[in-house]
Amino acid sequence: MKLPPLAELQYVSHPFEVHLKSDFGGVKTRPGLVFRGPAGYGEFAPFKHHSPEHAALWLQAAIEMAYDPVLPLKRLEIPINGIVPMMPLEDIPQYVKTVSAQGVTSFKVKCGSEDFADDFARVMAVRESAQLSSIRIDVNGKWDVMQAKERIFELNAFATLEYVEQPVATIQEMTQLRNLVDVPLAIDENIRLSTGISSRDLQMAADIAILKAIPSGGVRKALEIAEEIDMPIVVSGSMDTSVGLTAGLLLAANVEDLYGACGLGTGNLLETDIANTVLPERGVIQVQNAKINPMLLERSAWKMEQAEKDFWDNYLVTCYEILEQM
């Protein structure tokens, strides 16, 4: 993809910062830049703990969204799972009720707490509140193999897990664990953040692949990965605003082997947004263009510290220079 001039990106960029309803993996706000290009809007909001090289892929995805988005070819409605962060237990019943009312019948529960009892209680609260729904858990690689084996067995005995996403950190541990448990395993971080791993390695380590459009470098790049690894795919978001979420919808709209409900229901976790918030209806989200709300965008920028705005202006330059060398 040909890069637009840096000066043009700087001219069409606008800072933003949205807030989450509850802590999501240690994150309470999502700052970044949004671009208005000839084909629509793109979002550049990499997590700050990512390396500049990884962040450059987020910029590549934002440019694709704003200048040359992919068209939906295989489906126009994307099935959605609800996402349950590490929220207070007393908030879970109402949250699950709200999401279930949107037609959602699958929930992904975040696990990996310091005390496994907290994970267990959270999963049981979801199971009790959504008795007929399927439950997936996401551990973000925080368990070791033996912990994972024991905890998956215990959770599955009480909650009947659909699958477990990235229970352990490395591809070797995933492969080892897969031979010890009966519950399907899904792989996420090992696809995006590891090098030198073959499609055969991934197929040996997991049953399902989690793909994210923006951290992969855009929809086209993610589709290339999907074709290469040749596994059933669940598309997930990257805790995006309702602008960035449209990239995930386009990826899910074009994946050949879509496993099932996708993790694109993060609109329910946004306290503030910069666009009309994208939420499931009848359990699905329609593939759509981002609908920026100018008032919300201006308000989010007005509340940002100047140092934060300066950071994103400078980070845009850094990541652009990396893209020029790729």
Q: Which residues are catalytic?
A: 108, 212
Task: For residue 76, give the amino acid letter.
Answer: L
For residues 297 and 305, give the distance between their C-alpha atoms in angstroms, rounded to a whole number: 15
Total residue count of the chain as it appears in this document: 326
Question: Measuring CA to CA, how many Å separate 121 from each of 88, 128, 260?
Answer: 10, 10, 26
Check: CB of residue 110 under 8 Å from CB of residue 138.
yes
CA 34 to each of CA 1, 5, 30, 42, 192: distance values in angstroms, whole numbers, following the listed order: 19, 16, 12, 6, 23
50 by DSSP, 3-state: which? Answer: coil
3-state secondary structure 248-262: HHHHHHHCCCECCCE
Strand, helix or coil at 40?
strand
**Spatial distance between the Cα atoms of 172 and 204, rounded to a whole number of angstroms:** 10
Q: What is the token pair recorded at 106?
A: 């699958």
The alpha-carbon radius of gyration of the chain (Å, integer) is: 19
